[in-house]
Structure formats: C-alpha cells, structure tokens
Structure 1
Amino acid sequence: MKKWIWIIVSVLVIGFVGYQWFHSKSSSSEVTTQTRTAVVQKGKLEVKISGSGTVEPVTSEDIKSTIDNNEIEEVLVTAGEEVKEGDELITFTDDSDPITAPADGVVTTVSVAAGERVTNGQAVAHLTNYKDLQTVVQVDELDIPKIKKDQTVSLSVSAYPDKTYTGKVTAVAEEGTSTNGSSTFDVTIHIDKPDNLKVGMSAEASILTNSKENALYVPVDAVHKNNNEKYVLIASAATNTDNAADTNVQQTVKTGIATDEYVEITDGVSEGDNILLPQVSTSSSSNNQGGMMQGMGGMGGMAGGGMPPNGGGMGAPSGNGKSGN
C-alpha cells in the first residue's frame, strides 16, 4: 500500500512540474502603439558639418641659406628666441646679404655656428609661430562639396571644454585620402584668437555651411516621400481616437535646407501646425516563471520525502513574475 502511495505522489509531482513548465513557455504579449507629434517651429536653422583634427602652427618652416660656400661671421639668435619678420639671424664675413626671419615666430633650433661655411639650400635654423595657429580637420567626401573658403567655424578643444573658439576655412584639399572604400578631405581652419592653445591639442570643428532666419522646420522623420512628392501628415484633434486615421490630413510640402535633425519646410505648412510623426510600437510580455518556482517550492515537502519532518515544512522560495519590454 505504501508503495502505491509513493507512485501516486511521484506521478502527481511529475505532472505538476510538467504543467508548470508548459505554462511558463506561454506568455502574454501586449503591443502598444505610441502616437508621436511635433509642432511646426519657426526660427533660425543652421546647417553645420563637423570634423576633428589637431592644433598646429600656420608657420613652421626651415630657414635655408641662399648663399653658397660663404663663411658665417655671427649667429645673432639662439634657440627659443622670439623674432620678427625681417630680423637678421646670420651674417657673413664677406658682407653678403644676411639671412633674415621669413616671418614672426620663435627660432626653435639653430644648426650652424660662427666660422662654419654654408651651402645654398642648407637649413640653418627652424622657425615656428606659436601665436598664429590653425587646425586641419578631416571631412567626409559626401560633405566636402558644401565646404567653401571663408566659412565660419566654431571650435571646441578637449583641454578647454568650457570654451568655444572661432575660425574660418582657409583651404580645402583637392585630393582626398581613401580608407576602406571611403574618402576624407583635409580642411584647413585658421583660429581667430588661439589664447592658451598649444600645438598638438585635439580639436573638434563645426563648420557653418548654410543658415536661414525665420525658417519653418520640422523633424526630419516627419517628411515622407511618394515618388517625387514630399508630404507630411497634419494631425487632427482626434489623433488619439479610433477614427484618427480618417481625419489626419496628408499635406504636400516643399523642403529647403536640412540638418541631421530638422528640415526646412518652404511651402505647405504654417507655424504651429501639429505634424504626425512615425509611430513607435512597443511590446511587453509576462510569463509565470515565478509562479512555477513558487509552486515547486510549495511541493518541496512532498517531493523531498512524502511528509515534512517534525518542526515545520520547507517554505516556498519567493518568486516574482517577470515582465520584459
């Protein structure tokens, strides 16, 4: 008789565990659709293109001799000395024209001494101007047609995160550098007031390529395209009701300049219009895994040996139902 009791108990336990396992595989899922809208805004719209580079001097060059086989009488500067354009740097014993500074800057190295002879084209010193700085940034090939000389640039430098520098585009490379099938082009930007900047600092440039005052604009994803026609959906007052789809108005529009986030609407809408954005669907699911664990815990006394020992049975472990988005 006792053997049959154990068989019955075992069958019940196995059946219960199996049922709970099967039940836990089934989950209820609820999909909700979030209605999103945006208001047509009016204001200044700026189109900017970004690039990164490092700070470097505009002038950094070797000073070369134009005299051949002449003896140096005197070297008038030392490394680290600041000079002005036209200052005499080296004189010769035969009263030949002296070597002068080609620009303002600091003589960083001097490689000759009095009594030595120099040859035509020989580098006798190096000049760097640390007060006249620029940065060269890399711009993607898709954006380079929009970059022109004299465009305004705002610059951020990692060393001074709370300060913004300004500059202008001075040169755009005619040749790009290709990497992994994509090309970038060097854009040189002169920094207006490089206070505290040092050569080698990293910089991020934001080049202003277009701007418009009093522009009407909406988020980029508000504009849809059907063949060659662009349109927006003007939301009705009944947007959140069941018949909203019947009352939303499809309005043909014309677009102008665009940023990564916003696009100008030149015709078709008015300031303050409520525009429907693409819907976002979210789903949530729940299962009874926690319930299964709780049920198994509740059967713990029987599964462990029929009747719980004196002093109390095994308590069920706590189990919360899980939900996931």
Structure 2
Amino acid sequence: MKNKKTGNKKAIIWSIIGVLVVALGVTLYAMPKKTNYTEVKATTGNLATNYSFSGSIEAKNRQTVYADKAMQIKDIKVQEGQKVSTDTVLMTTVMGEEIKPQIAGEVSNIDADENAQIMPGAKLIDIVDYSNLQLKVQVDEYDLSAVSTGKDATVTIHALNKDVKGKITDVSKEGDYTNGVTTFTADVSLPNDSSLRVGMSAEAKVLNQSVSNVVLLPMSAIQFDAGNNPYVLIKDSNDLPKTVGITLGLNDGVHVEVKSGVKANDTILVPPIAKATGFGPGAQMKQGGSEASQGSSGGDNGQ
C-alpha cells in the first residue's frame, strides 16, 4: 500500500514539472522578440537635384567641300588626317584653279581622285574641326524650362568614365513632334580635350534645385504611417525607439532633407523591414518630370 502511494506521488510531481515546462515554453514563445535595429546618425550636408539629358558628341564646325561646276582634278595636295587652314590648297584642277576650305580643321575624308572628271555638286573632301566639340542633346518639351543659353552643365562621358564642364550655347526654336511628344535640341559646349571623340555618348546634367547645410537622413530610414505621414524612430535616453513625426524636403534618391523633427547627430533606429523595403509609399517624395538627381551628404563640414 505504501509503494502505491509513493508511485502516485512521483507521478503527480512529474506531471506538475511537465506542466511548468510547457507553460514556460509557451510564455517564452509568446514574449515579444527583440527588434534588431540598425542605427544611423542624422548628418548635415548639401543636396542637389539635376535634370539629365542624353546625346552624342559632335564637331561644332565641319565642312563638306563640293564641286561648284564640272571640273577635272589635277593634283590632290593634302591627305587624310592632315590639319589645314583656310589658306591651305586642298586640290588643283587642270584649269589651274585652287580649291581651299572655308574652315580650319582636319581632313577626315577625300572622295575625289586625281585626274577624275567631276560633275557639279560632287563631293570632294570633308574637313572637321576636332578642337571645337559640342554635345547635342534632346530635351523634352516639358523640361524645356530647365535649359537656357549660358546655363552651366556637367557632362559625363560614359566611355571615358569622366566628367567635364560644359555650357549650353544654343536651344532650338523649333521642336520635332514624334509619338505625341515634342523634343527640342540643345547644344552644350565642351572643353578642348584630346580624349574626346566625335560620336561618343554623353549625359548632360543641369542643376534643378539645391540646398546647403541641411539635416540629412538616408531615405531607407524614413517610415510612413497609415495616413502616409513620414516619421522616424529616434533612440531615446533609455535606448528605446521613440516615434517622431518629421517634415521632409528635397531628396536625391539616396538622401533626403529633414526640415523638422530631427536634429544633426540624432540617432535613428531603422527596423529590418524598413531597411529591406527601402523608402516607403510616400509619393510626395518623388521628384517630377524626367528629372535625374545627384547630391552629397556628410558631416558638419557640409561636403
């Protein structure tokens, strides 16, 4: 009888232990998990957005010399690649006439042959001034207000992976209507650079908006509530996240200006989901038109 009571007592004890283990497991499982925030510092710096226009490099000055009448070429005085001036004799005819270019440049192509009979209007030779290049870009009618004669531009030469300074020298007064959109042509001057080649693709950036010495945050740090209002999680004195509404300004696709709600050197906590999804649904942050952007951010030096 005694052994039976002892066995029942042990069974009860083990049952209680089992219940406690299960309860502990359920409690631990139900407890909120600690969020692994990423910390970022609010900084001060400069930000700029640009309009971007693509095109190709061309020579500003070139001349194709044509025969103005029937003639026979006697001598060709130059060769391809030779530099010439307006006083250089390119060809002579059997009648003793001298053919000279109207521009200084380089002989790029010779079409005529010595002793050949040439008809009026026939192409004789091409002269190209490779020292005076420009970028010709197409501008959408909706972006036409961004370009004007004399405005500075930064030109990126893709093949050379380099930027050069340019200036808008001309904007066409007539556009070309295609597929429901009218485009205009703008010419951008280029520096005398021996590495530049006619036909290279390039991109001209023209300043749209800029701000200096403002509070900046990565766009990935910004979150939006159900009403599409921006906010951030600021690390408080107890190292806990505090929700703070903010006012946003200019953004360059990577960083955004924070006009209010955050100060320089504030620590912002970024949840993993915000970091993964990037910028939230805030359509108000989008820069309009065919605008491209470029900016800089940094510490208090406002680099």
The verdict on a shared fold, with TM-score over 0.5 as the criterion, is: yes
The separation in 1 between residues aligned to 2:43 and 2:235, in whole angstroms, is 18
Q: Give the residue type in structure 2 aligned to 1:264.
A: E
Q: 1:33 to 1:89 in 2, by over 3 A?
A: same
1:250 to 245, 249, 252: 245
Q: Does residue 64 in structure 1 map to residue 59 in structure 2?
A: no
Q: Over residues 274-317 of structure 1, what are the superposed CA-to-partner deviations in whole Å (9 max), with x where a residue is unaligned?
A: 4454652799xxxxxxxxxxxxxxxxxxxxxxxxxxxxxxxxxx
Tell me the residue number matched to 1:235: 234
Q: Residue 106 in 1 paired to residue 106 in 2? A: yes
Distance 1:230 1:87, change over 3 A: farther
- Contact 2:229/2:245, CA 8 A, preserved across alignment: no
Q: What letter corresponds to residue 152 of structure 1 in structure 2?
A: A
- Structure 1 CA distance, aligned partners of 2:127 and 2:60? 11
**Separation in structure 1 between the aligned mates of residue 258 and residue 183 of structure 2, nearest angstrom:** 31
What secondary structure sits across from 1:280 in the alignment?
helix
Return closer, same or farther for 1:60/1:234 CA change in 2, 3 Å cut-off.
same
For 1:217, the equivalent position in structure 2 comes to 216
Contact persistence 1:35–1:240 (CA under 8 A): no
1:227, 1:175 → 2: CA distance? 45
Q: Supply the distance in 2 between the matched residues of 1:182 and 1:152 (Cα, whole angstroms).
A: 24
Contact in 2 for aligned 1:48/1:206 (Cα 8 Å): no
Paired with 1:175 and 1:277, the residues of 2 have a C-alpha distance of: 48
Query: 1: CA distance between counterparts of 2:103 and 2:191?
Result: 18
Task: State percent identity of aligned pairs.
Answer: 22
Q: Letter of the aligned partner of 1:103 in structure 2?
A: I
Instruction: Spell out the pairing of 1:1-325 with structure 2 (5 A cutoff).
Output: 33-48=35-50, 55-65=57-67, 67-69=68-70, 75-85=76-86, 87-90=88-91, 99-112=99-112, 120-136=120-136, 146=146, 150-158=151-159, 160-161=160-161, 164-170=163-169, 174-175=175-176, 189-201=188-200, 203=201, 205=203, 207-210=205-208, 211-223=210-222, 231-233=230-232, 235-237=234-236, 240-241=239-240, 244=241, 247-251=242-246, 253-255=247-249, 257-266=250-259, 269-277=262-270, 279-280=272-273
SS at match of 1:248: strand
Find the aligned partners of 1:81 and 1:135 in 2 and give their Cα distance.
24
Question: Is the CA contact 1:33–1:280 (under 8 Å) kept in the aligned structure 2?
Answer: no
Q: Which amino acid aligns with 1:102?
A: Q
Amino acid at match of 2:60: V
**Does the aligned pair in 2 maintain the 1:236–1:248 contact within 8 Å?**
no
Consecutive unaligned residues of structure 2, counting only runs of 5 or more, are 1-28, 277-303
Question: Do the aligned partners of 2:35 and 2:271 also contact (CA within 8 Å) in 1?
Answer: no
Distance 1:192 1:62, change over 3 A: same
Number of equivalences? 242
Q: Residues 40 and 267 of structure 2 are in contact (CA less than 8 Å); yes or no, is this contact kept in structure 1? A: yes
Contact 1:154 1:164 in 2 (8 A): yes
Query: Does structure 2 conserve the Cα–Cα contact (< 8 Å) formed by 1:50 and 1:139?
Result: no
Q: Secondary structure at the match of 2:37?
A: strand
Q: Measure the CA separation in 2 of the matches of 1:282 and 1:103.
A: 59
SS in 2 for 1:235: strand
Cα distance in 2 for partners of 1:68, 1:138 equals 38
Q: Which residue of 1 aligns with 2:12?
A: none
**Match for 1:69: what amino acid?**
A
CA distance in structure 2 between the partners assigned to 1:199 and 1:146 by the alignment:
26
Equivalent-residue separation in structure 2 for 1:102 and 1:140 (angstroms): 35
Task: Find the counterpart in structure 2 of residue 311 from structure 1.
Answer: none
Q: TM-score, normalised by structure 2?
A: 0.56
Q: Provide, for residues 127-167 of structure 1, a one-character-per-residue CA deviation record: whole Å limited to 9, x for no partner.
A: 22333334456789987764555332142443x55x54443
Distance change (3 Å), C-alpha of 1:34 and 1:84: farther
Tell me if the contact between 2:63 and 2:103 (Cα under 8 Å) persists in the aligned partners.
no
Call closer, same or farther: CA 1:133–1:233 in 2, change over 3 Å: same
Gaps of 5+ in 1: 1-27, 284-325
Contact 1:40 1:217 in 2 (8 A): yes
Deviation at 1:264, TM superposition (A): 2.6
User: Highest Rg: 1 or 2?
Assistant: 1
